[in-house]
Amino acid sequence: MDFDLTEEQRLLKESIDRFAADNARDPAAHGTAPDIWPQLAELGVLALPFSEEDGGIGGGPVETMIVMEALGRGLITAPYLPSVVLGGGFLRLGGNAAQKAEFIPQVAEGSLKMAFAQLEKGSRYDLYDVSTTAKRDGGDFVLDGRKGVVLGGDDAGLLVVTARTAGSRRDHDGITLFLVDAEAPGVSRRGSAAQDGTRVAEIAFDGVRVPAGRVLGEVDGGLPLAGHVVDVALAALCADSLGAMEELQRVTVDYLKTRQQFGVPIASFQALQHRAADMLVAVEQARSMAVYAAMMAEETDILTRRPAIAAAKAQVNRSGRQVGQEAVQLHGGIAMTWEYKAGHYFKRLTTNDVIFGDTDHHLRAVMQEGGLVEEV
């Protein structure tokens, strides 16, 4: 039992924390935010999760946690989750040798961004609810369907797309994952801003021809791979939310000490002190579960991994709601303004809450697996 970082992890943390502090997003700034993707590439964090033989650095989920926590703390909107964690996760865990050789170096050096196109009308949090079709035509597949809220989808060059090659809408079998060139004929997309300052896209696939060599993993058997990559992403999201919560909690405590009302700092009011103390408790519970998720993310036994990741997301969501709402309330009116950063952390926590499953969804998953504690 050990919660220490290795020397290498500590150095990574120092450099990414410094980077995130220097590049923390100022939500009040007008105009286009500077593109920090080349700097992230230079830092090596885009290559982080890939193995050394694939051209990466060989980091694991703890390294991903360190990066995501820093990005959350700095309110950074660069598409690390969609491109490196999700896209990279599909290549790492499901790509064949040729696919890895072709795409991993591009993702690692930052010249190619990826996104995971899976959400459809009515599918909500069910990865297996897929209506987009992929029909065989000679040596190719032809994709037709609509995807929405594709995180980082508007400027990704390569999409991982879930499509149905067999069965009907909510069958677990018959789902195939495809690597689709975002510029391929028949792909059209509409990008838009998200609540948290990131970018999302609706993407239409109309007779998009994909060669069989671009099938990721097994035909008809894509769901377990998608489930694992999503669990890896959930662990990363827990860390992102943790980072956002840490900063929001810190900012709130600072504000309580400086804001004066009735001639005294409002920090002197016990009603507010206790709520601030409860925020700290919530952050620490979230930290524990973010660590737990990181340690379970690469577990290949789904019966061990699934309830653990679901429990982590449920706790982090719950803590995130509390910390976000309380931060706004303890600040008062100032946190309602676009100019002040507290509200933007609140918004990031709110969107993270509903990425790949809200609290109800994950509690149901914990329930379905029979829970976490049995008599010994």
Partner 1 sequence: MDLRFTPEEIAFRDDLRRFFREKVPAEIRKKVAEGRHLDKEDIVTSQRILNAAGLATPNWPVAWGGKDWTPVQRYIFTEELQRAAVPLPLQFNVFMVGPVIATFGSEEQKRKFLPATANVDIWWCQGFSEPGAGSDLASLRTTAEKRDGKYVVSGQKAWTTLGQHADWIFCLVRTDKSAKKQKGISFLLIDMKSPGITVRPVITIDGAHEVNEVFFDDVEVPEENLVGEENKGWDYAKFLLANERTGIARIGLSKQRLARAKRLARETEAGGGTLWDDTDFRRRVAELEVGLKALEITQMRVVANQTKRDADKPDPASSILKIKGSELQQLTTELLLEVAGPYAIPAPDHEQPEGWNEPAVSPEWADAAAPLYFNYRKVSIYGGSNEIQRNIIAKAFLGL
Q: What is the binding site for partner 1 (CB under 8 A)?
A: 1-5, 62, 253, 256-257, 267-268, 270, 272-274, 276-278, 280-281, 284-289, 291-292, 294-295, 311, 314-315, 318, 363-364, 366-367, 371-376
Q: CA separation (Å) from 249 to 20, 73, 225, 323?
A: 17, 11, 36, 7
156 φ, ψ (degrees, to nearest 5): -75, 145
User: Which tokens go with 81?
Assistant: 């989750």
Residue placing its CB nearer to partner 1 in the complex, 9 or 131: 9
Q: Residue 152 in contact with residue 81, Cβ under 8 Å?
A: yes
CA distance 94 to 229: 9
CA-CA-CA-CA dihedral for 225, 226, 232, 237, to nearest 10: 180
Residue placing its CB nearer to partner 1 in the complex, 175 or 238: 238
Smallest gap, in angstroms, from Cβ of residue 5 to partner 1? 7
Smallest gap, in angstroms, from Cβ of residue 375 to partner 1? 4
Residues 6 or more apart whose CB falls under 8 angstroms from that of 250 comprise none
Smallest gap, in angstroms, from Cβ of residue 374 to partner 1? 5
Residue placing its CB nearer to partner 1 in the complex, 86 or 314: 314
CA-CA-CA-CA dihedral for 177, 181, 186, 188, to nearest 10: 100
Residue placing its CB nearer to partner 1 in the complex, 175 or 330: 330
Smallest gap, in angstroms, from Cβ of residue 15 to partner 1? 19
Residue placing its CB nearer to partner 1 in the complex, 188 or 368: 368
Smallest gap, in angstroms, from Cβ of residue 170 to partner 1? 19
Smallest gap, in angstroms, from Cβ of residue 80 to partner 1? 20
**CA 127 to chain CA centroid, nearest Å:** 15
Residue placing its CB nearer to partner 1 in the complex, 66 or 182: 66
Smallest gap, in angstroms, from Cβ of residue 342 to partner 1? 16
User: What would the DSSP string read from start to end of 179-196?
Assistant: EEETTSTTEEEEEEE-TT
CA distance 295 to 65: 10
Residue placing its CB nearer to partner 1 in the complex, 63 or 154: 63
User: What would the DSSP string read from start to end of 319-355?
Assistant: HHHHHHHHHHHHH-GGGGSTTSTHHHHHHHHHHHHTT
